[in-house]
Amino acid sequence: MAAVTITDVWKYYGKTVAVKELNLEIKNNEFMCILGPSGCGKSSTLRMLAGLEFISSGDVYFDDVRVNDLPPRDRDIAMVFENYALYPHKTVYENMANPLKLRRTPKQEIERRVRRAAEILEIDPLLHRKPVELSGGQKQRTAIGRAIVREPKVFLFDEPIAHLDAKLRSHMRGELKYLQRSLETTTVYVTHDQLEGMSMADRIAVMHEGVLQQLGTPEEIYNRPYNEFVAGFVGEPPMNFLDCTLERTNTGVSVVHSGFRLALTERQADLLEKGGAEADVRIGTRPDNLAIEPGADGALEVPGEVFVTEPLGGDMIVEVTVGSDRVMAKTKIGPMGGPGEPCRIGFDVDKVHVFDKTTGVAYF
């Protein structure tokens, strides 16, 4: 258990800047997810916390101890990678016991900790098996068990379940979250999978090109994205973005697109004025916040044309051509015309976001 503080941290590899001026405070016992696309600097950040990578500039503290110059073994961390590298000739028990043996922990204490970790991870019936006799998920649980027995101050996870199949991944998401809450250990969890971040973390740090884009709870990241990058990265299917112009009249402010005109609320108009918005903007709306109905004569305000429908069990994604663009709407499965048929869509204005077209920063 320790708070982790990252202040003004940079990471260079030669001329490549992997992490730029990162500031992040991870609270004691918090589950922090570092989320972002490939190459954004997630692993570099984690490896600097672990002591596996030199910090080019800036400081890292565990509580109030500066750890920049501490070797990994003195940092009291445990790390789990995507590639768990178990010892093939050792049993599950021996694999889990190994880090404690290396620390000359008394045998009884080793036994106690391994059995407890195995129980939590539900692999106690497998303790005598060799890795070759385990499924992918069981191997990964063994690797996690090996990290748990250390009872470290901080857990560092680098995409630990990325290679598992979808069903097992979803199961492990639940397990890891439960485990972290019951062990009460500060956790930094790196992933490119927004669903992992959204479902497990207390707070998410979204990174892009080495730069922290936004830090917030999953709810804040989803509902109040700081910029277009965060808005587009989180949520599945992704947010729709449409180039529009602002039209200011004495009755209010509207966004105008080739396929529709949408009157904004007073609150939204105020935020645009305060932000000094220019005429060209980009609006964003999530597929869940677009209503859709088949046919040309419905009550919804915007006419469109079905491009394609994708049934997903109970829900359906409908791609719709609106003016010169295409948007995705998510709806309950039901009758919807085939490609080329007319339909109507409706915006939930309160849930529309407007972004600066140049900087991508959200006005709301």
Q: Which residues bind ligand ATP (CB under 6 A)?
A: 13, 16, 18, 36, 38-44, 192
Residue 318 burial (CB count, 10 A): 24
User: Is 181 or 192 the residue whose CB approaches ligand ATP more closely?
Assistant: 192
User: Is 140 or 268 the residue whose CB approaches ligand ATP more closely?
Assistant: 140
Rounded least distance, CB 46 to Mg ion, Å: 8
The CA distance from 351 to 31, in Å, is 28
The option from Mg ion, ligand ATP, none interacting with 251 (CB < 5 to 8 A, set by class) reads none
User: Is 6 or 345 the residue whose CB approaches Mg ion more closely?
Assistant: 6
Sign of the torsion formed by the C-alpha atoms of 31, 37, 39 and 41: negative
The CA distance from 132 to 142, in Å, is 12
Rounded least distance, CB 205 to Mg ion, Å: 14
Rounded least distance, CB 212 to ligand ATP, Å: 12
Nearest to Mg ion by Cβ — which residue? Answer: 43
User: Is 43 or 240 the residue whose CB approaches ligand ATP more closely?
Assistant: 43
Rounded least distance, CB 262 to ligand ATP, Å: 37
User: Is 43 or 331 the residue whose CB approaches Mg ion more closely?
Assistant: 43
Cα torsion 230, 176, 77, 210 to 10°: value is -10
Task: Give, for 204, the enclosing helix (H) or strand (E).
Answer: strand 203-208
The helix/strand/coil state of 35 is strand
The option from Mg ion, ligand ATP, none interacting with 90 (CB < 5 to 8 A, set by class) reads none
Rounded least distance, CB 3 to Mg ion, Å: 24
Binding residues for Mg ion, rule: CB under 5 A, are: 43
User: Is 39 or 323 the residue whose CB approaches ligand ATP more closely?
Assistant: 39
User: Is 230 or 262 the residue whose CB approaches ligand ATP more closely?
Assistant: 230
Q: Helices marked H in the chain — which ranges?
A: 42-50, 92-102, 107-120, 136-148, 166-183, 194-200, 218-223, 228-233, 266-274
The option from Mg ion, ligand ATP, none interacting with 44 (CB < 5 to 8 A, set by class) reads ligand ATP
Per the CB < 8 A criterion, the answer to whether 242 and 280 are in contact is no
Rounded least distance, CB 134 to ligand ATP, Å: 25
The option from ligand ATP, Mg ion, none interacting with 41 (CB < 5 to 8 A, set by class) reads ligand ATP
Rounded least distance, CB 19 to Mg ion, Å: 12
Query: Dihedrals φ, ψ of 256, to 5°?
Result: -120, 130
Q: In this structure, what DSSP letter does residue 152 have?
A: -
Residue 59 forms beta bridges with which residues?
7
The option from Mg ion, ligand ATP, none interacting with 145 (CB < 5 to 8 A, set by class) reads none
The option from ligand ATP, Mg ion, none interacting with 192 (CB < 5 to 8 A, set by class) reads ligand ATP
Closest CA to 282 of 212, 340, 339, 364: 364
**b/e map of 94-125 (b: 16 or more CB within 10 Å)?**
bbbbbbbeeeebeeeebeebbeebbebbebee
